[in-house]
Amino acid sequence: MAKKSNGGMTKETADKSLEQWLWDAACSIRGAKDAPKYKDFILPLVFAKRLCDVFDDEINRIASEVGGRAKAFKLVKRDPKLVRFYIPLEPADPEDSVWSVVRRLTVKIGEALTDHLRAIAKENPKLQGIIDRVDFNATTHGQRDISDDRLSALIEQISLKRLGLKDVEADIIGRSYEYLIRKFAEGGGQSAGEFYTPKEVGLIMAHILDPEPGMEMYDPCCGSGGLLIKCELALQEKMDLRSKKSFAPLKMYGQEYTANTWAMANMNMIIHDLEGEIEIGDTFKAPKFLTKNKLRQFDRVVANPMWNQDWFTEGDYDADEYGRFPKGAGFPGKQSADWGWVQHIFASLNAGGRAAIVLDTGAASRGSGSANTTKEKDVRKWFVDNDLIEGVIYLPENLFYNTSAPGVILFLNNAKPAKRKNKLFLLNASREFEKGDPKNFIPDKAISRIAETFKDWREKDKYSRIVSRDEIVKNDYNISPSRYIHVADGDEYRPIAEIANDIKVIEADIQKINLTLQNILDQLEI
């Protein structure tokens, strides 16, 4: 049965209503097609509205104790620690909402709004660089990036709903905020995958990693923070089933390279009413979470690094100061840093740690079956030989916003149970999807089926298998589930992306063989 929320609405209805309002607000600027272009304006404004409305609720609570809002404003101004975030926007009439200061702007709206948000950041160090990043008065070649007329329409649309503590639960505003981020990702082109991983993929990872209260979670390339948040939601769901109302939340840590996305992650955390430490910078070259010049180690790690990054050189690996790239593994080759990220993540796990990493399908198979040694296969071999891989899930095609390729989830486990030693659990979920617009999605029942099957290591025909390390070695360290689990009757089914990767390997081998043969012929002067 659906849980009740405000005004007798079901939680699902409240979710939908808030989501539609948010999307209408986004579209109020220039319509649905152009809305994603304006995410850097819209997200901070929605965030500011939530802060203002919650602050109003706190003022009302204090007012009930001291005899009026005017006294409450003065008291909080003298001691900002009485509230979580102090909002220095005081309306002329203390009975008016704090947000009314923004809503009533009529002239130089962009300039005034920018000043207001900067004033909020100045009073709240935790919000500096997060809420004050955007200049709503900015111009490009003399033209305003967002005109005062458009900005006024956006403010008015956002003003239509109250986002206070009694109006909307933290998880509803949080989920709706994530919905808005997803809608922006749909129109975000190639950049979308840098800040958003499909919700269902994050939930599968979170349920399989199965975090316990108080655990430390880490995402080295956290984007908008969604994977970390999914882990906390999975923990809350588990505690609800145990009827535990009080428990220690997860301690969440993340690092993000892009400044606007870093700000988005921080807003996302706060609007979900969660605590997290999100650092900014290049994790690969300058990781921020360190202990005595070594990587800090965590209970659980989740990540969806950008696939097949090709701008890291062997020198970047050789210059590493943090012990991330051990002898025998090391440099996976210039073409793809996928296994470089896996090595960073493994080095970030404590003795009992586990990790879930989204990778390109080729990372599970590239180089296998080749007559020549490849660096990427060598790194994969190191992980298999050291029995560090718990399993792999093959995902459906067309889930991700920046590619139609299916992807895999690789699971690492630093403490595999004795009965699972020298074995991998492979699951082919390539058919676990429904058609969506514009992307496919994994329905709720399939999310549960995938997660429970993996957690139980339950074998099922054309779906999942326990594979011994000997069989992996026999298949030249190919760990792709599609190699071992054939989902179709008759001929073996293999995705086009994986076949294309194999063709590239074969073509490279043919070129090398031809060159070798030509050299022999030249020496014989034939």
pLDDT single digits (tens) 223-234 = 999 999 999 999
Percent of the chain at pLDDT > 90 equals 74
Q: How confident is the model at residue 405 (pLDDT cuts 50, 70, 90)?
A: very high
Q: 134 to each of 3, 50, 138, how far by Cα in Å?
A: 37, 17, 8
Whole-angstrom distance, CA of residue 44 vs CA of residue 37: 14
What is 6-183's CATH number, 1.20.1260.30, 3.40.640.10, 2.20.25.90, 3.40.1710.10? 1.20.1260.30
What pLDDT digit, counting tens, does each position of 342-376 carry? 999 999 999 999 999 999 999 999 988 876 778 99
The mean per-residue pLDDT over the stretch 331-346 comes to 95
Whole-angstrom distance, CA of residue 407 vs CA of residue 430: 10
The mean per-residue pLDDT over the stretch 272-295 comes to 94
pLDDT higher for 239 or 34?
Answer: 239
| Model pLDDT, residue 7 | 44
| Model pLDDT, residue 15 | 65
* Domain 207-215+288-498: CATH superfamily, name plus number: Vaccinia Virus protein VP39 (3.40.50.150)
CB 394 within 8 A of CB 428: yes
| Model pLDDT, residue 2 | 40
Q: 168 to each of 114, 249, 414, 429, how far by Cα in Å?
A: 26, 21, 40, 36
For residue 461, the tally of other CB atoms under 10 A from its CB is: 9
| Model pLDDT, residue 489 | 62
CB 221 within 8 A of CB 305: yes
The mean per-residue pLDDT over the stretch 165-173 comes to 88
pLDDT reading at 5 higher than 60: no
Domain boundaries, the chain: 6-183, 207-215+288-498
Q: How confident is the model at residue 52 (pLDDT cuts 50, 70, 90)?
A: very high
CB 51 within 8 A of CB 87: yes
The amino acid at 17: S
Domains 6-183 and 207-215+288-498 in one fold: no
Q: How confident is the model at residue 81 (pLDDT cuts 50, 70, 90)?
A: very high
pLDDT higher for 521 or 443?
Answer: 443
Token digits for 256?
């993000």
Residue 373 burial (10 A CB sphere; 0-12, 13-18, 19+): exposed
Token digits for 522?
């030249």
φ and ψ of 213, to 5 deg:
-50, 140
| Model pLDDT, residue 4 | 40
Token digits for 209?
């990693």
Token digits for 165?
């503590």
What pLDDT digit, counting tens, does each position of 413-429 carry? 999 999 999 999 999 99
Q: How confident is the model at residue 502 (pLDDT cuts 50, 70, 90)?
A: low
| Model pLDDT, residue 1 | 35
pLDDT reading at 167 higher than 80: yes
| Model pLDDT, residue 499 | 66
